[in-house]
Structure 1
Amino acid sequence: MRGSYLLGVVAGLALVGCTPEPSARPEGSTSSSPTATVAASPTESTKTTAPAPQPVRFDAARATADVRHLAGRIGPRLATAPVYDRAARWVAGRLRSLGYDVSRPSFPVPAGDSWGAPVAAGRSSNVVAEPAGFDPSRPHRLVGAHLDTVAVAPGAEDNASGVAVLLELARLAAREEPGAPTVFVAFGAEEPRGPGDALHHFGSTRYVRTMPRAQRRALVAMASLDRVGVGRTVPVCTGPLSADRVQRAVLRTARRIGVPAAPCENTASDHWSFEKAGYPVVRFGSTPYAGYHSAGDVPAVVSTAQLGRTGRLAWAWLRTGTPAR
């Protein structure tokens, strides 16, 4: 009897020794014990809510600094002069630094009269900035501003102001995708070398003529920034040939964001080259001012507030969806 009892005790001890401890349960198993705890994963324990990204904003002070550089440090930029090449290289470098694919196609410009100054024939160039991965066969917009001046003018308002706004818009579009892919072009040789269309708008005319067929079908709107730093109201112009839906869209945007704007009509900028080719266009700017085409077109002429109004309006429009052509 005593032997049987001892054998039972030994067997019981053996069974206890073979039973797994609660902490040694297989991986992935769960416990129904009310005192069991599950440690938070490292990711869960350190997870925080990321702050919402802030919308990018047009920086009028940055644009003003660019006006001062172009019209103050560089000065008059006759399209066929070496100083124009200096300005074009500077603009191209700025756009490349933003991540754009930049090219500088050149073209001939005839001799003529640059607002009273005889000028020889030569070559000029456009500065073309396309977003990385740009597909010219897909719907897109183009924003342009002429970089050249007449022979005697530093060209602060005409047209460092437009180029400065273009550079700032390109910066915003590189940080926040606009409503449609946008190509930015600083045009050469917009200023006339005599009367009539044949002696005006050389760079934009060249661009339109050399567009690949797929891009001709895909371009849905062109906007020109020309003399955009004077006044308190943003002129929103189109020519007599263009459907006015882009102009109306910009004016609606102006009312929505509270920027004073007024419709107008003219053919005196690079939008005219595109309008004649059948594209819907808009021109920002054209307020008269005393220093027009003279040595008095200096940075002090340009208003930072007006650059801001124009830039905010243009950016708000670019953020909208692509209009049908």
Structure 2
Amino acid sequence: MKKKLSILMIATIMLVFSSVAAASAQSAPVSYKPSLVHKSGKMAYEHMNYLANVIGSRIASTENETLAANYIEDQFERMGLETEVQPFSYTRRGGIHHSSNIIAYKPGKSSKQIIVGAHYDSVSVGKGVDDNASGVGVMLEVAEVLKKINTPYSIVFIAFGAEEVGLQGSKFYAANMSSEEIENTVGMINLDSLAVGDQMYVYGGLGEEGFIRDQALNIAEKKNLDVETNPGLNPSYPKGTTGDWSDHAPFKTLGIPYGYLEATNWEIGALDGYDQTVEHGGVWHTSNDTLEFIETEYPGRIQEHLSTFSTLLTDLLKFMNKTNTSK
């Protein structure tokens, strides 16, 4: 009896230790080889892959969205950035739902700030590779590249929750900015759906007629990056601008100049940017928004896009200069 009891006790102790070890392993931040950060797009790809394939679809207010938020928080903290979780609630279809924004702060030469944002939730179909693990991946890579570089402005990196259900995260953040913080914000750069569209774009508006867009286009020209802007074929969306359907919109409403990086195709369909590709139309919000589909149909496109957007955003944040303004 004692022998059986001892065996049982040993088994129980081993089970407890294995459970603790498993819990510790799950809570430990995912680490990547530091060399990846020196190869534009490589680190972004790893983050994108983790969000889409390890976590999966990240529907607003679900456990998977929370797992994605935890992952992003861990990554910002691993980089050594001052990180904050901003929880919020919203009402939808008669119920109260909960999500959060993950915010990381990188000081620069000036206390004036640039906000860089990307939403981390997705819809229920597909795995949200393009929309928007790609944007989060580029944001995280650029945050790591710039963490020790003295940029002209301080940078606030924000991973927004619950974008797919009405821009809830960005609306909450913008609504809670003080007048001083609004005045202190030089611009907001939004990253959304970077992986699959036929062409890479940058848009912008407000404040010196889109200075963020114009500086990005100058960088693209100098570095021979295949990035252009909306050609303005649809009069509803004038040249260089875009619609108010993503996380730049609440900041635009506050009068904060915006820039917006995206991959789509403004020259097909209704000329409104919703049809991303000639062959398959829109990939976002469909079962095709998976790594397997995109890499099979467009081999090398994800790598090219992540590298291009990462290079462009890095240089934009390193050299941005808003002249002739109090900001």
| TM bucket, shorter chain | 0.7 to 0.9
Say whether residues 1:217 and 2:183 are aligned partners. Answer: yes
Distance in 1, Cα, partners of 2:159 & 2:224? 28
Say whether residues 1:169 and 2:142 are aligned partners. Answer: yes
Gaps of 5+ in 2: 1-36, 231-241, 265-275, 296-301
Q: How far did 1:205 drift?
A: 1.0
| Aligned with 2:243 (options 266, 278, 286) | 266
- 8 Å Cα contact 1:224/1:270 also seen in 2: yes
Number of the residue aligned with 2:10: none
Distance in 1, Cα, partners of 2:143 & 2:58? 22
Distance in 1, Cα, partners of 2:261 & 2:76? 21
Q: How far did 1:237 drift?
A: 1.6
Q: How far did 1:88 drift?
A: 0.3
Number of the residue aligned with 1:284: 261
Q: Deviation string for 1:223-261 (max 9, x for gaps)?
A: 001011124642112368983121111111111111111
Q: How far did 1:180 drift?
A: 1.6
Number of the residue aligned with 2:100: 125
Larger Rg, first or second structure (1 or 2)? 1
Counterpart mapping for 1:6-85 below 5 A: 57=38, 59-85=40-66
| Alignment: residue pair count | 255
The residue identity in structure 1 corresponding to 2:91 is P
Number of the residue aligned with 1:295: 287
The residue identity in structure 2 corresponding to 1:128 is I
Say whether residues 1:106 and 2:87 are aligned partners. Answer: yes
Q: How far did 1:121 drift?
A: 3.6
Aligned residues with identical type, % of pairs:
27
- 8 Å Cα contact 1:163/1:225 also seen in 2: yes
Distance in 2, Cα, partners of 1:89 & 1:205? 21
C-alpha RMSD over aligned residues: 2.3
- 8 Å Cα contact 1:242/1:278 also seen in 2: no
Q: TM-score, normalised by structure 2?
A: 0.72
| Alpha carbons of structure 1 residues 165 and 85: separation in structure 2 relative to 1, 3 Å | same
- 8 Å Cα contact 1:109/1:122 also seen in 2: yes
- Find the residue that maps to 1:322 and give its secondary structure: coil
| Aligned with 2:71 (options 61, 82, 90) | 90
Q: TM-score, normalised by structure 1?
A: 0.73
| Aligned with 2:161 (options 176, 180, 188) | 188
Number of the residue aligned with 1:319: 318
Distance in 1, Cα, partners of 2:200 & 2:39? 16
Distance in 1, Cα, partners of 2:153 & 2:223? 20
Q: Give runs of ≥4 in structure 1 deviating > 4 Å.
A: 239-242
Q: How far did 1:177 drift?
A: 2.3
